[in-house]
Amino acid sequence: MGAVRAVVWLGVAAAFMARWAVPIAPQLDHLVVAIRSLDEGVAQFQALTGVTAGIGGKHPGRGTENALVSLGGGSYLEIIAPQKDAKLSAEDAVMRGLARLTIIDWAVRVIDVDEARASLQRAGFTTSPPQPGARLTPSGERLDWMTFGLAGAQIDSAPFFIRWSPNTRHPATTAPSGCTLERLTVADPRADRLTGMLRALDVRSVVVANGPATIEAALTCASKRAILTSASVK
């Protein structure tokens, strides 16, 4: 009986850890895909992939809301859109003109903010000050994170960087599944600088190309394949 209890408890513990666990090395955290309306975005994604994104929540003070899809391997896709009648920053107001799902950004997850910033600075990059962020899920669960980026226009297609609070369940573990990211290609006129930045953090899951600043993600969702792209310039 003791052995049976041990097996049961090990199974429960494994399930608990699987629910919370994400890879511990720096890697792609998520893609940010924008559109003028969240309902339209969820419907378009469902038509493209057969997968229905789960509502993530609203961003306090920003005027946006999102829906999420897990991409496996600790990464996810965020569909972001303006809340109806919300006041937006000039940068976010661009979303109101997007009639199709359009990649507008991407995030690399780091484990330690200070260490990651130091690694980037040693590689010749200047970083912005870290900024805290948070939102509530529809169920009332709080998600907390810290973000920073490269200061100025050092690389047009550069990602931003995110560290999730240890007390936060990573969205890749809670969002609806059904899709995998087969390839992420990021093009930039300074492809060598982008490659150097990713190498500084040992991020290996991104294909870097030389050319105008664009981002392309190839997804496989059961029997369907979908390509999502940015506008010609990020």
Tell me, what's the pLDDT at 3? 46
Within-domain flag for 16? no
Within-domain flag for 19? no
pTM of the model: 0.87
Within-domain flag for 223? yes
Within-domain flag for 34? yes
The CATH number of whichever domain residue 68 belongs to comes to 3.10.180.10
Within-domain flag for 169? yes
Within-domain flag for 9? no
The string of pLDDT tens digits covering residues 5-57 is 433 343 433 333 334 445 556 799 999 999 999 999 999 999 999 999 999 99
User: CA-based diameter of the chain, in Å?
Assistant: 65
Dihedral sign, CA of 50, 204, 127, 134?
A: positive
Print burial letters for 41-68: b (CB count within 10 Å at least 16), e (below 16).
bbebbeebbebebbbbbbbeebbbbbbb
Phi, psi (deg, nearest 5) at residue 76? -150, 170
The string of pLDDT tens digits covering residues 54-77 is 999 988 888 899 999 999 999 999
Q: What is the mean pLDDT of the chain?
A: 89
How far is it, in rounded angstroms, from Cα 46 to Cα 44? 5
Within-domain flag for 18? no
Tell me, what's the pLDDT at 18? 39
Tell me, what's the pLDDT at 229? 98
- Proportion of the chain above pLDDT 90, given as a percent: 76
Q: Please report which confidence band the pLDDT of residue 107 belongs to, taking 50, 70 and 90 as the band edges.
A: very high
Within-domain flag for 234? no
Number of domains in the chain: 1
Which residue segment(s) compose the domain that 178 sits in?
Answer: 24-229
How far is it, in rounded angstroms, from Cα 11 to Cα 154? 48
